[in-house]
Structure formats: structure tokens, C-alpha cells
Structure 1
Amino acid sequence: MTSNNGRSASESFKAQALVYRHMFSILDSMCLKWIIDSRIPNIIHDHGKPITLLELVSVLKIPSTKVERIHVFMCYMAYIGYFDITKVRIHGDNDGSNQEEEKEAFALTAASELLIKGTENPCIAPLVEFVMDPLISDSFNYLSKWFSDENRRLYEIISGTPWWEFLDKNPRLLGLFNDAMASDSQMIKLALKDHNIAFEGVETIVDVGGGTGTTAQIFSEKFPELKYIVFDLPQVVKNLKGCNNLSFVGGDMFESIPKADAILLKSVLHNWSDDNCIQILKNCKDAVKILRKDKKGKIIILETVINEEQDEPEITRLKFLMNINMQIIHGKERREEEWKNIFHEAGLYDYKIFSFTGYLSLIEIYP
């Protein structure tokens, strides 16, 4: 049996399921936002053990009419990896027998542990809250209008102002953005455990585009002997105070960069065009000091490197989605060949790429 376009009915049904899955996948994001807004990961964490449905709705103060719906939502979030469904033994003394019975309960997974707020462990909930804020997420409804516009970025089309001006005019959103960037940087703590060697022999490092210094704080605590300089626009760092081995310097990376043994660029270059990246890297090259005779320091880049031949499918899909996101805000994620071309244009020919986090790579460039 074939359909009108020559494909089998089976093919059409699978295609329909694909369309439906993506059409309703917005609910994945909204359910993720819901468990964060409701602080469910924190509730389970504070409970100290897997939590039953009735215990959960009691804390949430959910009306009895919504209990079954909460169960449906929690089971779905367990199905996609945010909770584990397990069994706990509950004392049932309603009949005076004090007998135990098994009840279904929800436990945290590695994913929901990353959404627990207020602990020393990494938490990326603020990043979710920023991306899912209506002022941000609603903008994706205007992609067709963005494609029809010659030069403006999506947020310029919607708000009439450039991205950073848009944030400055929305203090609440700017706060969310800063918290989001800080939370994303927390994952570096985990990655640094396996990459200490990248910073051996380095006495000074300049974090170009280091923002409010979340990454800097992580590095300065991890390497107390390292002199760490956060370099960003004057208006970004003007009210920030350093400490013993951490300082903030204002300036423009397109003009010059303070000299150091190593220059760090974390998720900076993907915001810029190839030509802009080349200029930034040339300035980085000029800023790298000579450590010893005939040996310079290095440039360290933390960025996505698209490589679908080596990456797992889910990581590849994430990198492609990140590339879509960056294209919208006028940047791009790159393949190794694209990075290589940029390096060469900047006069940088010696580099190595290492796996860093799930989607970020560590690139060392030796001028």
C-alpha cells in the first residue's frame, strides 16, 4: 500500500510520528521548567531519600484534584531521565498492625542533581530559567521574520535594540543572564580535575571576556599560585573587586589584551564572525609572553568542536542545536577544519584539541 506521494503508508506514519514528536517536544522544555520552578529536585534532595507521590504533593501543597496529574508528569520526567522510579518501604499503621508496605518513589538522577539550588555542587538551573524565560523563548517564534531581514539579529528585530542594550534595559533579564553564565561555568570544576596539566608552568593568565569572574573564581581557588586577570569591557568589570590572586581589568579585546603566560577564551569566539575571531586571536598572540628562551606561553580556548563522526549522537545533536542558537545571535559553532582555518589566518599553526566537557573541547594553541 502506497500513499499519494509514492511512499508506503508505514513511511508516512513514521514521518507523522516524527513531526508530532517535535511539535510536542516543547513540553519537554516546559516540564523541565516546571520541576525547577517547583523546586522538585531540592525537595527530593532535602527529603534525604526517594520521595513518594503523596509526600511530594504534600510539600508542593497540590490540590487533591491534581495529584494524579502530578504522577503523570513525574513518570514522564522519569522516562526521559530526570528521575528514577524505585520502591521504598512505608510503615502502614492505619489498622494498628504497623506493617510495612512498598510504595513507588522518585529518586534523583545525575540530570536532576544538576538542578539542585543552594549547594556547593554545580547547578545549571539558572541557565534553564534564562533560556526558558518568555522574553527569550518567545523570540524563537520569529525565525521566519529573522531570515527575511538582511542584517539584524533576532533580538534586534523583536526589541528594536541590540542584544546587550536589550539586556541593559531589562535588569531582571540581565540578572538571569549573569546567573546563567555563572551556573554554566560551574561545570568547569568537574572538567578541571582531568586537565590540570594544561595550566602547569603557567604563572599568569588573562581570561578574555571573563565577565563577572565566575570562571576566574574557580581557577583562582583551584590554582592559588596562579595570577588570574579577568579582562572584559570597562562597564562589565567597573564595580568588581578582586582578591589576592585575582584582579579585574577593563578594555577592548579588539584593540589589545594584557600580556600573560596564557590567554583563556571560554565560549567567546563562538559569538563572533571568522574575521572578528582572527583579530581577537592576533591580539592574543601578541599578548602571550615568552616563558623561557625560545618558548612562549599558550592560548587556551574552551569551545564546541562539531565532529559527528566521533561524538555520540546526542552530543552531536546538542552541538547542532547550539549552532542554531548561535546563528540566531550572530555567532556560530565550528568544525575542526573551520577552527584550523581561523588559526592559520591569525598566524597560529600549532594546536591540539582535547575533550573537556560533554560538548566543550579544550584547544591549546602554541604561538
Structure 2
Amino acid sequence: MASAISIRQPAQIYEQEAQHETLLSKLKLYEIMLGSAKPMALRAAVLLNIPDIIAQASGSLTLEEIAAHISASTESPPHIEYLFRLLRFLASHKIFSEIPHQEDFKQSRYGLTGLSRLLVKETSEGGVSMLNYVPFLLGATSNLPFQGWLHLHESVLEGGSAFDKAFGMSAWDYAANNPELNKTFNEGMSCDTRAVMASVVKVYEEGFKKITSLVDVAGGVGSALSIIVENYKHIRGINFDLPHVIATAPSIPGVEHVSGNMFEHIPSADTIFMKWILHDWDDDDCVRILKRCYEAIPNNGKVVIVDALVVETENDEDEQEKCLRDVGLALDMTMMLFTGGKERTKMEFKKIIMKAGFKSYTIFKLPFVQAIIEVSKY
């Protein structure tokens, strides 16, 4: 007897494909709605000191061993099953490596990956890790951003930052009135600065060699400028920021701390340096800042901007380009939340640079979402 042949009709094929697409859409929606689980679980792991515990072991540890280390620094041992579920979840996102034990989950082993190594606070010698992103993570996962996100729709309707709407004041005023938050914010910016500036001083080497004086506008506590003058000792550095920021800045050899308002006046120098500053402001305010920069430099002077450069078109085939675009657009939403500022594409930077009176610019790529933009009067 001949075997029966099943032939699917076009309508059946379409229905199955539609069901598959609907299921994928539902799963993607769930992934988005539950997206806060990743950063908050990572925050918990950092507060439990797990990246450092594993780093100090110079290899992977069993769940029980990690629990024992946590117990040694707390008043009570951790809930072992909860700890397992936390690490299993983070390992599923490649934040930790995992060797599961089929019979006893307490014997599952966990190690560091490239992601979790960025959250190791101390070096093996006991110093602070140069790749320590912990302050950045703790700031990003505090309750302040989440309260702001609840007002994002109001920003879309009315303009202005969601943070202002949530707290009735700007992020800058809030930081000025909350010393502990101001300290956390500056530490977060410093950890990013250490990573980015290591590339900046190399990529822009020829430019730094020609500079004799440099003002870091809104330079925080001087983290970026300290790296510049350490590598190029002939440069006289001026760290320029608001009074409440300068008040917490440490003494740095070769650097003078000066307080003031960049919208009113910027100290004169050969070069103006701004790292992650223009993204805090809308186009009109950026033009005002750049005009003050124009006034502060000589005719052959430069303005050196280190800021995120949003990839203009999506390229799913290039994983790095897609990641850079995704991060750039996420940062853009974050700036809408906190300051009403924005991350910019190359053409958007060109618009504000030319409107401020400058005639030319050159872009130097970095291995980060940020790039160096060298701006000239002629």
C-alpha cells in the first residue's frame, strides 16, 4: 500500500508562520518588559561582592565556596538557593561563566567573563582596578533614574527633562544639594574617564604634543585632565567646573582648579577640551557653549570634543556597529531623561559646530561609543 502524502495548503503555511511570528513578538515583548531584571540582578551581585570574590580566587568557584566568602563578610549566610538562581540568571546572559552540576546545584561552578571583569573593584595587589565600572553601575541602577522614567511620556508631550518633572529641579541642582549623590556621580564619571582617556591620549597624541595650555570645560574633579597632563607634562591644565564640583576636586600636579559657569565665560587657553559635556544640552545651549569656546581660544586654537557619535544607519550584519548604534540610542534616551540633552550623529554635530562660527572639524574614531571631534576656527 502506498504511504499517505500530506500536502500543506498555502493558507495553512501562512497561518503557521503567522503564529510563529506572533509567538516571537510576545516573547520579545516579555523580554522588554522584564528588561530591568538584568541590571538589578547585576547590582545585587556587585553589592554581594561576587566579582571580587571570584577574581581573588583566580579561577572558578563552586556556589558553596562563593556563599562561604559572602558569609565571612556579613552577619548571616546567604540563602543558597536564591544565590544559585541569581548566578544562573546572570550566567545565562554571559555575565558569569557557569559549569552546572547535574546532581547538586551547590557544586555548580562560576567564573568571570569579559563583562564581569569590568566590575572587579580591586586588583590582585589590593589597589583600585583601572577597569572598575562599579560606580557607574550603582549610579545607573539607583532609584533616581527609575523615578525619572515614569515621567518620560510627559517629556514627549511637553519637552524638558523627565528628571525635572519627577523632582521639581534639574539633575545639576539635585546633585548640588545632595553631596553623597554628587560624589557617586563624579565617581561614575571618573571610571568611564579612566577607560576612555587611555585611548584618547594615544589616538590624539600628535594634537596633545602641540598644546601648551588646555582648559577642561566641566571637567568634574579633574580625572580626564590629570591623565592628559600625566602623559603630556608640558601642558598647563585648567580644570573648569561649577563651584560645588570644584569644591570636591583633589589637588593635581600641573592642574589649576577654576570655578565658573561655561555659559558665561571660559578661561583662555590654546585648546578647550570637553568630554561628555555637549550631550547634556539641546542644540541651542550647545551653540552657546561653543561660542564661549570660540572666544576663549586663539585663531589657531582647537576645541577637542569627546562625545558619543551615534551610528546613523542600522547594520545588522556588523555586530559591533549594531551594538554601537544600540548603545548610542540608549544613551540618547538617558539624556532625554536626565537633562533634556541628546546624543548626536555626525551631521547633527556639524550643524551646531558651524552655527557657533567654526569652519572645520576632524573626527578621530575611538574603540568606544565616543569619538574625538577636533574643531577649528578655519
- Confirm or deny a common fold (TM above 0.5): yes
2:155 equivalent to 1:155: no
In the aligned structure 2, how far is the partner of 1:246 from the partner of 1:350?
Answer: 29
In the aligned structure 2, how far is the partner of 1:163 from the partner of 1:208?
Answer: 18
2:263 matched residue in structure 1: 254
2:322 matched residue in structure 1: 313
Q: Which runs of 5+ in 2 are unaligned?
A: 1-10, 101-106, 123-127
Q: Cα distance, 1:343 vs. partner?
A: 1.1
Give runs of aligned pairs for residues 261-280 of structure 1, distance below 5 A. Answer: 261-280=270-289
2:91 matched residue in structure 1: 78
- 8 Å contact from structure 2 (residues 67, 78) kept in 1: no
In the aligned structure 2, how far is the partner of 1:54 from the partner of 1:353?
Answer: 51
Distance 1:364 1:112, change over 3 A: same
- 8 Å contact from structure 2 (residues 96, 113) kept in 1: yes
TM-score, normalised with respect to structure 2:
0.83
2:338 equivalent to 1:349: no
The one-letter amino acid of 1:16's match is K
Distance 1:83 1:345, change over 3 A: same
TM-score, normalised with respect to structure 1:
0.86
2:52 equivalent to 1:42: yes
Give runs of aligned pairs for residues 277-296 of structure 1, distance below 5 A. Answer: 277-289=286-298, 296=300
1:95 matched residue in structure 2: none
1:30 matched residue in structure 2: 40
The one-letter amino acid of 1:139's match is G
Give runs of aligned pairs for residues 124-143 of structure 1, distance below 5 A. Answer: 124-143=133-152
Q: Deviations over 1:207-243 (max 9, x none)?
A: 0111111112222222222211111123332464544
Give runs of aligned pairs for residues 177-196 of structure 1, distance below 5 A. Answer: 177-192=185-200, 194-195=202-203, 196=205
In the aligned structure 2, how far is the partner of 1:198 from the partner of 1:71?
Answer: 51
Q: Deviations over 1:28-70 (max 9, x none)?
A: 1111111111111111112222222221111123988942442
The one-letter amino acid of 2:26's match is Q
Q: What RMSD, in angstroms, separates the aligned Cα atoms of the two structures?
A: 2.6
1:90 matched residue in structure 2: none
In the aligned structure 1, how far is the partner of 2:95 from the partner of 2:206?
Answer: 34
- 8 Å contact from structure 1 (residues 51, 105) kept in 2: yes
In the aligned structure 1, how far is the partner of 2:248 from the partner of 2:144?
Answer: 27
In the aligned structure 2, how far is the partner of 1:142 from the partner of 1:207?
Answer: 33
2:112 equivalent to 1:117: no
- 8 Å contact from structure 1 (residues 123, 186) kept in 2: no
Distance 1:82 1:289, change over 3 A: same
The one-letter amino acid of 1:10's match is H
- 8 Å contact from structure 1 (residues 272, 330) kept in 2: yes
Q: Which runs of 5+ in 1 are unaligned?
A: 88-102, 291-295
Give runs of aligned pairs for residues 156-175 of structure 1, distance below 5 A. Answer: 156-175=164-183
The one-letter amino acid of 1:168's match is A
2:111 matched residue in structure 1: 107
3-state SS of paired residue (2:187): helix
In the aligned structure 1, how far is the partner of 2:353 from the partner of 2:137?
Answer: 33
Q: Deviations over 1:59-85 (max 9, x none)?
A: 123988942442332233223222223
218, 230, 240: which one aligns with 1:231: 240
- 8 Å contact from structure 2 (residues 216, 239) kept in 1: yes
Pairs aligned (count) = 345
Q: Cα distance, 1:104 vs. partner?
A: 4.9
3-state SS of paired residue (2:210): coil
In the aligned structure 2, how far is the partner of 1:173 from the partner of 1:223?
Answer: 32
Q: Cα distance, 1:27 vs. partner?
A: 0.5
In the aligned structure 2, how far is the partner of 1:336 from the partner of 1:192?
Answer: 19
Greater RCO (CA < 8 Å, at least 6 residues apart): 2
In the aligned structure 2, how far is the partner of 1:244 from the partner of 1:344?
Answer: 36
3-state SS of paired residue (1:187): helix
The one-letter amino acid of 2:116's match is S
Q: Percent identity?
A: 26
3-state SS of paired residue (2:267): coil
- 8 Å contact from structure 1 (residues 304, 334) kept in 2: yes
Moved more, 348-357 or 231-240: 231-240
Distance 1:81 1:200, change over 3 A: farther
Q: Deviations over 1:137-174 (max 9, x none)?
A: 233123234434x3553222222222222223333322
- 8 Å contact from structure 2 (residues 214, 272) kept in 1: yes
The one-letter amino acid of 2:111's match is A
Distance 1:44 1:29, change over 3 A: same
2:213 matched residue in structure 1: 204
